[in-house]
Structure 1
Amino acid sequence: MIIYENMFPFDAFMLPDASWNFYPFNTYELNEICYFDIETTGLSADTSNVYLIGLGYYDCGHFRVKQWFADDYNSEKQMIKEFLDAISSFKIIMHYNGATFDIPYINKKCKRHKINPAPLNEIKSLDMYTTLRKYAPVLGLPNKKLKSFEKYVGLYRDDAFNGGELIEVYAEYMQRKYINGGDEMLLHTLLLHNYEDITGMSSVASLLFLRKLSSLDVIFENASVIREGQNEYINAEYSCALSGNYNFEFSINDIQVKYSDKKVFIQIQIISTTLKYFFDDYKDYYYMINEDTVMHKSVAIYTDSYVRRKAKKAECFVTKSSSFIPVQKTGCFSEKYHIFKTELNSKEFFVEMKPELLENKEFFTEYYRQCVI
């Protein structure tokens, strides 16, 4: 086993400052926080081995990365023991999908080697993947991989491999080690991937404030209609209590959301079209064959039976030509507003845009919630 340690000044990465007033940075001191990631020769702890464990932590104005590397086939037990000893001095450990893979893997290895896994199981744990994955579409990311979040915060890797591809690299390194003493380029490739996972997490941690958006106190200030070319939009403005002057924006289903200096701006396109309002109680309606419309049975009962039949759910609607705006979910909107759709099973929902809506504080407060949850 070989241990590698790297030390970097804080300004080398996007690292915590006073604006990081969110969990876990508003709960723990920096020297109580650590990150970890493992590299293995397979997915199953029963049939593979861990060959690299990386630990990142803050220390006196620096960010340190410590790596335990198995340069033989007998170091696994010692690596795990030293890693567990190292994390005993921290109060919270952060990882990316570690709750699903890394932690269960280490626990199985502890059982095999008769090691007490308490340091890993008793420390507070935060899986950044579980926390951030639902924000990937909000941020316009192509997937939920750590690398995608890294690119969003402006971090680009030198490492070009994924964990699966490195299995063969490690096998080749070990083969060359026993033949001619090793290969420094292969070793660098193996260490770099794990190192960049650790430093990547330390930068992506800046996005953990996103968890506060859904519960953020926002105050609706105003809404107005603007025209840009042939299109009309509603511009809604809010003030918010988000710690720090965050400036970022995202779009969700063509709804633009922007945070800037404790303000939130939402731009919603107004659509002029014809949509359908479907009746929930379709069993109380008849379909009028000649008119291609529906009529409530309390009225239709007075018509001839041969001109009507029981309405089907998909045809029990009325159409309306008007101006509409999209909503993300029906939710409480369906209790107070008619929800329009293009077809019965459509997942796109709309409410009619009426001038008085611009003054409706309750509507726009809920609209914000639906955009960020």
Structure 2
Amino acid sequence: MRIENSFIPVDGVGEKTERGLWERGITHWDDFERDAVGGKTGDRIEAFIETGRERLDAGDSRFFDSALPSAHRWRLYENFREEACFFDIETTGLSHANDDVTTVSVHRGGETLTLVADRDPAVGRPLTRDAIREALADAPLLVSFNGRRFDVPFLETAFDLTLDAPHVDLMYPCRRLDLTGGLKAVERDVGVERDRPDLSGYDAVRLWREYERGAEDALETLVSYNREDAVNLRTLAEHVVGALHDRAFGDIE
């Protein structure tokens, strides 16, 4: 689903009103005519479409991020997918106040970058504040799995950053599809394959400790694991957004 299919960002338009428009064949902004909805609601829809076209042309994802209800922010994905940053981190534990970030992988535009918490890592690039900022620079959309509660607080605390770009945390739209559990469990449920399905977040901690003790191959395995997390987020996003589109439109042509 694209933003142009959406009327729900308009004040006074809920899911019921939006679906009513779709069922009448008004499934895109191009299909809307002022007399389709009476009163002030019709005026607001018309005004939103006019502004929305300008904001889309400007690539202003923040405008739509603030306009869409939180449960529907997955609709940002189709419009901003090509420039989106799919990102994942590994850490030494679960506390963003006490533990450290070890690797950060960002998949963007078909390329995957991994940053490693070492001045001269055997693989990847050094993990610094500037490197993170550069990797996420001007991203119209961040995509993660449980990133709002885990990855973002870790990065903001560890590197004194503010990551406030529009963010689709796939954990929540997955739950709307009854896909629960961690990323690996959800991947299995939707058929996403991994090179090392035996590895988990606990192994990521173990591998880093082994690397600190001098095992260079442990870092290679950790980086490969972290990169696969980031790359697989795109595959998962395609599945989830497609499924939610089908659910929203149902039997509407």
TM-score (norm 2): 0.62
TM-score norm. by structure 1 comes to: 0.43
Of 23, 30, 35, the residue aligned with 2:75 is 23
The 3 A distance-change label for structure 1 pair 158 and 77 is closer
Quote the offset at 1:33 in angstroms: 1.0
> Equivalent residue for 1:165?
203
> What residue is the counterpart of 2:175 in the other structure?
133
Among candidates 6, 28, 43, match of residue 94 of structure 2: 43
Match of 2:153 among 104, 107, 117: 104
Where in structure 1 are there 5+ consecutive unaligned residues?
1-21, 112-116, 138-142, 177-181, 219-239, 242-373
Q: Which amino acid aligns with 1:158?
A: D
Deviations 1:126-175 (A, max 9, x none): 101111123135xxxxx432223323443221222111222122111111
- 1:148 paired with 2:180, answer no
SS at match of 1:94: strand
Q: Is the 8 A contact 1:132 1:208 kept in 2?
A: no
What residue is the counterpart of 1:83 in the other structure?
132
Which ranges of structure 2 fall in alignment gaps of 5 or more residues? Answer: 1-73
Q: What do the CA deviations read for 1:205-237 (whole angstroms, capped 9, x no partner)?
A: 12222323443253xxxxxxxxxxxxxxxxxxx
Within 5 Å, give how 1:283-362 maps onto structure 2: none
Q: What does the per-residue CA deviation read over 1:167-203, in whole Å, with 9 as the maximum and x for residues that have no partner?
A: 1221111111xxxxx422x122101211111111111
1:67 partnered with 2:114: yes
Offset at 1:104?
Answer: 1.1
1:29 to partner: Cα distance: 5.5
What amino acid is the match of 1:103?
A: V
The one-letter code sitting in structure 2 at the alignment partner of 1:24 is L
* AA partner of residue 76 (structure 2): P
1:94 and 2:143 correspond: yes
Q: 1:183 aligns with which of 205, 212, 216?
A: 216
Give the whole-Å Cα distance in 2 for the aligned partners of 1:162 and 1:87: 25
Query: Given the superposition, is the C-alpha separation of residues 45 and 152 from structure 1 closer, same or farther in structure 2, using an over 3 Å criterion?
Result: closer
Post-superposition Cα deviations, 1:96-144, rounded to whole Å, max 9, x if no partner, equal: 0000111111111234xxxxx24x22x111101111123135xxxxx43
Post-superposition offset of 1:55: 0.3
Query: Which structure's residues are more often helix, by fraction?
Result: 2
Q: Identity, % of aligned pairs?
A: 23
What is the rounded CA distance, in whole Å, between the counterparts of 2:120 and 2:172 in structure 1? 33
What amino acid does structure 1 have at the position aligned with 2:170? M
What is the match of residue 227 of structure 2? 195
Question: CA 1:77/1:193 → structure 2, altered by over 3 Å: closer, same or farther?
Answer: closer
Aligned equivalent of 2:242: 209
Matches of 1:217 and 1:132 in 2, distance apart? Answer: 18
Give the 3-state SS of the residue equivalent to 1:23 in structure 2: helix
Shift of 1:69: 1.0
- Aligned counterparts of 1:124 and 1:28: Cα–Cα separation in 2: 10
1:1-55 alpha-carbon deviations (Å, 9 max, x no partner): xxxxxxxxxxxxxxxxxxxxx833432261x211111101011122211010000
Q: If you compute each CA radius of gyration, which structure gives the higher value, 1 or 2? A: 1
Distance (Å, rounded) in 2 between the aligned partners of 1:168 and 1:85: 29
Aligned residues: 175
The 3-state SS of whatever aligns with 2:79 is coil
Q: Which amino acid aligns with 2:136?
A: I
Question: What's 2:104 paired with?
Answer: 53
